[in-house]
Amino acid sequence: MATETRDEPEAKDEGKGKKEKSPSRRTSPALFVRQVLAELRKVIWPTRRELVTYTTVSLVFVLIMVAIVSGVDYGLQKGVYALFG
């Protein structure tokens, strides 16, 4: 019976040179908004054509799933009625 386990590799240079914030420090609302805007600038926004394509694909997928679930539901309903009704 194997009782030995592998140790996880230790992280190298993790956290060196970085100050850790104390849990009690809070970010000011102005700094939060600046950080959010900075992150939004990094986002690659889809073009109108890509957005229409993604929306169409999503709606078609949802319609197909609705059809599948409705078909299974209808089949189970008929089966239950045939068995017990």
Q: Is residue 4 part of a domain?
A: no
Q: Is residue 30 part of a domain?
A: no
pLDDT for the residue 13: 57
Q: Is residue 24 part of a domain?
A: no
Contact 69/76 with Cβ under 8 angstroms? no
Read off the pLDDT of each residue in 12-20 and give the average, rounded to a whole number.
Answer: 59
Structure tokens at 67: 């059809």
AA letter at 24: S
Rounded to the nearest angstrom, the gap between the alpha carbon of residue 34 and the centroid of all alpha carbons in its chain is: 24
23 vs 44, higher pLDDT:
44
Q: Is residue 62 part of a domain?
A: yes
Q: Give the integer Cα–Cα distance in Å for 1 and 15.
A: 38
Q: Is residue 51 part of a domain?
A: yes
Q: Which domain holds residue 64?
A: 46-84
Number of domains in the chain: 1
Q: Give the integer Cα–Cα distance in Å for 28 and 23.
A: 14
Read off the pLDDT of each residue in 14-29 and give the average, rounded to a whole number.
Answer: 69
Q: Is residue 35 part of a domain?
A: no
Q: Is residue 53 part of a domain?
A: yes
Contact 46/54 with Cβ under 8 angstroms? yes
